[in-house]
Structure formats: structure tokens, C-alpha cells
Amino acid sequence: MKQNSPVIELTNITKSFGENTILKNLNLSISDGEFVTLLGPSGCGKTTILRLIAGFEQPDEGRILLAGSDITDQPSNKRHVNTVFQSYALFPHMTVFENVAFGLNMDKMSKSEIKAQVNDALRMVKMSDYADRKPSQLSGGQQQRVAIARAVVKKPRILLLDEPLSALDFKLRKQMQVELKQLQRRLGITFIFVTHDQEEALSMSDRVIVMEEGVIQQSGTPKQVYEQPANLFVARFVGEINVLDTVVEKHTDNGFACKIEGFSCEIHSKKRPAEGSKVSILLRPEDLRVEELAKAEKPEAGSIFGRVEETTYKGATLESIIVLPSGKKLLASEFFDEEYEEFDYKLGQDVAISWVDGWEVVLVNE
Amino acid sequence: MNRFFKSMYMLMVYLFLYIPVIILVINSFNSSKYMTGWKGFTLDWYSKLASNTMLLDAAINSFTVAFLSASAATVLGTLTAVTLYRYSFFGKKLLYALVYVVIMSPDIVMGISLLVLFASIKIELGFWTLLVSHITFSIPFVVVTVYSRLSGFDKNVIEAAKDLGADEMRIFKSVILPMSLPAVAAGWLLSFTLSLDDVIVSFFVTGPGYEVLPLRIFSMVRLGVKPEINALCAIILLFSLVMVMTSQFLMRERK
Ligand SMILES: Nc1ncnc2c1ncn2[C@@H]1O[C@H](COP(=O)(O)OP(=O)(O)OP(=O)(O)O)[C@@H](O)[C@H]1O
Ligand SMILES: [Mg+2]
């Protein structure tokens, strides 16, 4: 739906602070109206990318194009890009109204026009009743809304949000996630959102960009990033995952045969790595099916079995750690079933493990 | 027991601090000329003071210099602090260290070096030399006061202003100045007080044509303390109390 022309393009960007090269030859292109999230561990350069786009930092090499025109050398007060800071960065000596009006005053707009637009913006973030308050008289969530209103009232081409929700408590964060997403849809402005929180990234974005040490590891829809991770880093960073290393033994009709932790298995996969190549089989905890085995029962040939070592009650799900005979531990996460309300495993219970064919991800290791 | 000693201790300290001042104020209303004992209440010394034109002229001179030097030092010091905070340039750390050197250096060194300077460029000692000297020793105090306030700012606030379209001038006028105003005001009051009670530097750099209050009092008490001086000191005390309260009020109001 949103395959418009790119609104922002970063080409061959390199950025160092002293000896440390933070971004190496980075290329990034974002379409108009997209909600893009930068996701990655602390220190991987997410904030640096935003600061380059906003104009607070200059790249050592590479160009930045906004809607086709080169803005690399433009100062930040001339760029049609606005930022919502993690610390909100409201002007403490101004009222809420004055804070939101600040950017419009810079545009030399008429008083009545400013008043109308500020009131609209405050209504949009549900802060009309607080127009005369000082930032110090507002809660964290309210300050956050003002910071958003102050930025969007400028009608930027791109809104940059650097971990805007990380200072809020869990409930408020959930609520603000929904509100931000709705706001973005309504305004049609491109959002570049930074977060540590993979769940937040998956639930809000059109596209997630996973980074590690200044390098983009994968860029795709939340579904792609979660279900088809491009590599082990992405797989491990986005959600919990079980990684099983193995070697392709021989090709079969539907995939290939291999030994997983000593159990012979057939993997159904379109990918058929060469026989003898090392592969990792990735399984999300919620894709594992766990079945209790009676004491004397012999596990079916070809299935994997182990013993429940620990269970953790997580509200809607039950997480269990299952130890395989080889010592490998697997994490399984199962929804409580309406019919078996009492379901829980006894520690030490023998279980068989299976999964729906084709739900596993196969990564070929170099 | 322990508490008793604690409060006794505090009482002693405060008595030690305030007894001289209290005696001075009491004596300014004492009709005994030699301050040997209470001889009854009088306002004579205050009316005598009002007719002592030499003392009053010196007082007017002192307040003029204090006001002008504090104002000039505040402008120059604030701009220096903002420059040190906002921009990075070669030698910035050294410059900031040099500010402290002036604060730490003894008045006598300051006074003599200024005297040598004025003598070598052959300027007549008087109002202008005094004013320049007072501006000089006040600037560092303003720089330090304002700079410490600025470094407490969230740097993002200034970036936010820029992000919203403000140029350097607007950032200074609409964000930096209003946010550092309490420190600027405190810097002014500090400079004013420093100038008003400076004896040593003034002794070297002012001429006979322009006498300031501390020096005038200094030369008067060499012939014994006159009761008018008690009255004058009581007035100055009241004045500084008002100043201290104003600065406290300003700092609180803005937080
Ligand atoms: N002004 C600077 N001077 C020197 N090093 C810096 C500067 N800004 C950032 N860095 C370094 O660049 C690296 C990337 O920083 P950046 O702030 O972009 O990380 P981040 O991905 O936003 O991390 P976080 O999730 O913790 O906010 C870090 O190692 C940081 O120490
Ligand atoms: Mg960051």
C-alpha cells in the first residue's frame, strides 16, 4: 500500500566518534508514510542515525537526501524533520501552549493562525485542558504528549522518535503505543521510531530494521523479521528462540534428513543445503508442541523427547524448560487451553516434542 | 544530655557570629558617645550621619560603582559562560581554568597588578580605573555562577529549540537566557556585594578625587570609631539583608 517514492535516503553513511567507527557504509531508504522502527542492542548506533537525519551530527562520508534533495549540509533548523526526545526536552520556563507554539513562532506565522494550530495539536494529543500549565506540573505521559504535539505541529516530512516511551510505566506505554500508531495513520507522516523493546517494534511498525554494531542485519515487516530471521543475530534478538545445530545428512523428497541432538529427524524445507553442510534449525518456543508420556510409554520412533526441568507461569502461557538427553535445553511456551484448566507439568515428567512441519527456520551456517 | 550539648554548641556558634553585629546595631541607637554603657535611646547618630556630606558622598560613589560594575560584569560574564557552554573550540578548558585563577588570586595581587597596569599606560586613578577594576574581579564570579547553571541543563532542550527552527540568536534569547535568569540575577547581586565591600583593590586603584565608602570608613576609624559609623553600618547591614533575601527569593521562584 505504501510503495511511494522514498522520503529519506541515507547513502553510504560512515560516522565515527574519535577512534570508534559507529556506522559503516550504511544505506537506508524509507518510503513516504512508512512507520519504521530501528531495533537493536544498546550502543549499536540507533540514536546516531536519528541525529544524522535531524542534523545534530554530520556524517564523515555519504549523503542524506530528503524527498530527493541533498540535505547533508543543511543545519537542523532548516530541515523539515522534527524530533521527539527520550527526555521530552520541553522548555521548562514556557507553558504547554508556548512550548507547542515555539516552532510555529519560528515560522513567522500570524498570531491567530498559531493559536488555531496549537489548539488543534493539543486537542489531538488530548492535552487541551493543560495548555496553561508548566511542564513541571505534568506527569511523564502528559509531558510525552506535549513533546509529540510540539513536533507534529510543524508538519514535518519525518518525525523522529528516540525511545519516546521508555520512561513510561507498562500500562501507559501500551496505551501510548496504540495512540502513536493511530496518530501516524491519521497524519500520514513518516515515523522513524527507535526502541530496545522488540515487542513494541513488532506491534507498531510497518517495517522493522534490526541493527547490530552499526550494520543493518535485516529489514522487513514484523512478520518477516519474526518468522524468517535472516541470521542468528536477528533470530536471537527478536523474541526467544531455540537454536539446534546440526548437519545435513541426505536430501529427501520434502527436505532433508539430519540428526538433532542425537534424534534422527526429517526436516521439511524448501531450502536444501548441500549434504554435509552445517545448518541451524530455529524453533520459536510457541511453535513447540509438548506431549506428556506415560511412565512405561516408549516414544515414537523419529520424535524428540526430554524431561521437564522447570515451569514458569506467565499468565496467559506456561513456559517450560525441557532437557534433552544430550543436555540441550529447549524453551516451550504453551497457551492455556480452556478445556484443561489445570494443566501444568510435574517436574521430571517425560515429554515428547514435535512441531508443525515447515514452521522451523533453517539457516545455513558458513 | 547529648542533645543539650548539641544545642549549646549551636548557640555558642551563633552568638559568636552575631554578637558583634548586634552590639553594633544597639550602639547605633545608644546616646553614649563612647559606647561604654547604655545611656538611653537616640536617633542622633542617624541624623548626624545624614549631615556628614563626606561620608554620604563616599556612599553614593560606592553604590554607583557597585551598580555599574555589577551590570557590566553580568553582561560580559553571562556571554562568556554561554560561549564556554555552547561552543567547543581550542583552549576552552584552559580558558575556564583561567577564570578560577582570578577567583583564587589574592586581592592584594589583583590590586597591585591593576595599579601597575594603569600606571604603565598612564591613566589617572579615579572613577574609571575603579570601575574597570571592579568589573574585572566580578566577571569570574558571574561566569562560574551562570556556567554551573547552564551545565545543569538538559542539552536536548537546546537541540529541541534548534530542531523546531530556532537560529543561534533565538536560542539565546528564548531558551538559554530565560532558563539561566536566576543565575544571572544571582551573579549580579554577588558582583554588587563584592564591589560594595571591596577595600584592598579599591585602595590601590582609586584616586583622591573619588572616594568610596569602605576606604572612607577605614580612614575615619583610625581616629576612633564614631557612633555615626555604627549608624552607617547598621543601614548597610539592613541593605545587604534585603539583597540576600531578594536573591534567595529569585532562586526559589524560578526553580
Ligand atoms: N557524542 C559522542 N561522542 C563519542 N561517542 C559517542 C557520541 N555519541 C554516541 N557515541 C557512541 O556511539 C555509539 C552508538 O551510540 P548511539 O547513541 O547511537 O547508540 P544507541 O543505539 O542509540 O544506544 P541506546 O539504545 O543505548 O540508546 C556508542 O558506543 C556511543 O558510545
Ligand atoms: Mg539511543
Q: Per-residue confidence at B77, pLDDT binned at 50, 70, 90?
A: very high
Q: Assign residue B158 the CATH number of its domain.
A: 1.10.3720.10
- State whether B98 and B164 are in the same domain: yes
Domain-embedded: residue B5: no
- Taking an 8 Å cut-off on Cβ atoms, the answer to whether B162 and A76 are in contact is yes
Mean pLDDT over the full length of chain B: 89
- State whether B176 and B237 are in the same domain: no
Per-residue cell: A116 = 488555531
Task: Express each pLDDT in A210-235 by its tens digit.
Answer: 999 999 999 999 999 999 999 999 99
- State whether B122 and B209 are in the same domain: yes
Domain-embedded: residue B79: yes
Q: Per-residue confidence at A1, pLDDT binned at 50, 70, 90?
A: very low
For ligand 2, a single-atom ion, the residues with CB < 5 A are: A 47
Domain-embedded: residue B137: yes
Res A303 pLDDT > 60? yes
- State whether B171 and B194 are in the same domain: yes
Domain-embedded: residue B10: no
- State whether B245 and B129 are in the same domain: no
Q: For residue B168, give the chain A residue with the closest CA.
A: A77
Mean pLDDT of A286-310: 78
Percent of chain A's residues with pLDDT above 70 = 95
Q: What is the reported pLDDT for B252?
A: 67
Q: What is the reported pLDDT for A273?
A: 85
- Closest CA of chain A from B160, distance in Å: 7
Domain-embedded: residue B6: no
Mean pLDDT of A196-200: 88
Q: Which residues of A touch B163 (CB under 8 A)?
A: 54, 56, 76-77, 81-83, 151
- State whether B131 and B244 are in the same domain: no
CB atoms within 10 A of CB B135: 22
Å from CA of A195 to ligand 2 middle = 8
- State whether B134 and B211 are in the same domain: yes
Task: Express each pLDDT in A20-66 by its tens digit.
Answer: 999 999 999 999 999 999 999 999 999 999 999 999 999 999 999 99
Residue with cell 542492542: A41
Number of domains in chain B: 2
- State whether B122 and B236 are in the same domain: no
- State whether B193 and B244 are in the same domain: no
Task: Express each pLDDT in A132-154 by its tens digit.
Answer: 999 999 998 899 999 999 999 99
Task: Express each pLDDT in B91-149 by its tens digit.
Answer: 888 988 999 998 998 999 999 999 999 999 998 899 999 999 999 999 999 999 999 99
What ipTM did this prediction achieve?
0.81
Q: What is the reported pLDDT for B249?
A: 79
The arrangement of strands across the sheet holding A263-268 comes to A263-268, A255-260, A242-251, A278-283, A361-364
Q: Per-residue confidence at A339, pLDDT binned at 50, 70, 90?
A: low
Percent of chain B's residues with pLDDT above 70 = 97
Mean pLDDT over the full length of chain A: 89
Domain carrying residue B238: 230-255
Res A299 pLDDT > 80? no
Cβ–Cβ contact A102 with B under 8 A: yes
Q: Per-residue confidence at B229, pLDDT binned at 50, 70, 90?
A: confident
Backbone angles phi, psi at B165, to 5 degrees: 110, 5
Mutate to test the pocket of ligand 1, among A14, A20, A22, A200 (most ligand atoms within 8 A of CB): A22
Q: What is the reported pLDDT for B207?
A: 86
Which candidate, A212, A256, A259, places its Cα nearest to that of A237?
A212
DSSP sequence for chain B = -HHHHHHHHHHHHHHHHHHHHHHHHHHHTB--TT-SS---B--HHHHHHHH-HHHHHHHHHHHHHHHHHHHHHHHHHHHHHHHHHH---TTHHHHHHHHHHHHHS-HHHHHHHHHHHHHHTTPPSSHHHHHHHHHHHHHHHHHHHHHHHHHTS-HHHHHHHHHTT--HHHIIIIIIHHHHHHHHHHHHHHHHHHHHT--HHHHHH--TTS--HHHHHHHHHTT---HHHHHHHHHHHHHHHHHHHHHHHHHHHH-
Q: Which residue type, as a one-letter code, is found at position A56?
A: F
Domain-embedded: residue B167: yes
Which of B17-31, B39-53, B239-253 comes out lowest in average pLDDT?
B239-253
Res A354 pLDDT > 80? yes
- Taking an 8 Å cut-off on Cβ atoms, the answer to whether A77 and B166 are in contact is yes
Domain-embedded: residue B21: no
- Closest CA of chain A from B165, distance in Å: 4
- State whether B97 and B219 are in the same domain: yes
Mean pLDDT of A65-86: 92
Q: What is the reported pLDDT for A11?
A: 94
Closest-CA residue, ligand 1 atom 28, reads: A43
Domain-embedded: residue B241: yes
Q: What is the reported pLDDT for A295?
A: 67
Q: Which residue type, as a one-letter code, is found at position A166?
A: S
Q: Per-residue confidence at B225, pLDDT binned at 50, 70, 90?
A: confident
- Closest CA of chain B from A76, distance in Å: 6
Q: Per-residue confidence at B157, pLDDT binned at 50, 70, 90?
A: very high
Mean pLDDT of A307-319: 85
Which candidate, A254, A250, A213, A242, places its Cα nearest to that of A357?
A254
Q: What is the reported pLDDT for B119?
A: 93
- State whether B133 and B252 are in the same domain: no
Å from CA of A16 to ligand 1 middle = 10
Task: Check residue A319 and give left, alpha or beta (phi > 0: left; psi -120 to 50: alpha).
Answer: beta
- State whether B161 and B247 are in the same domain: no
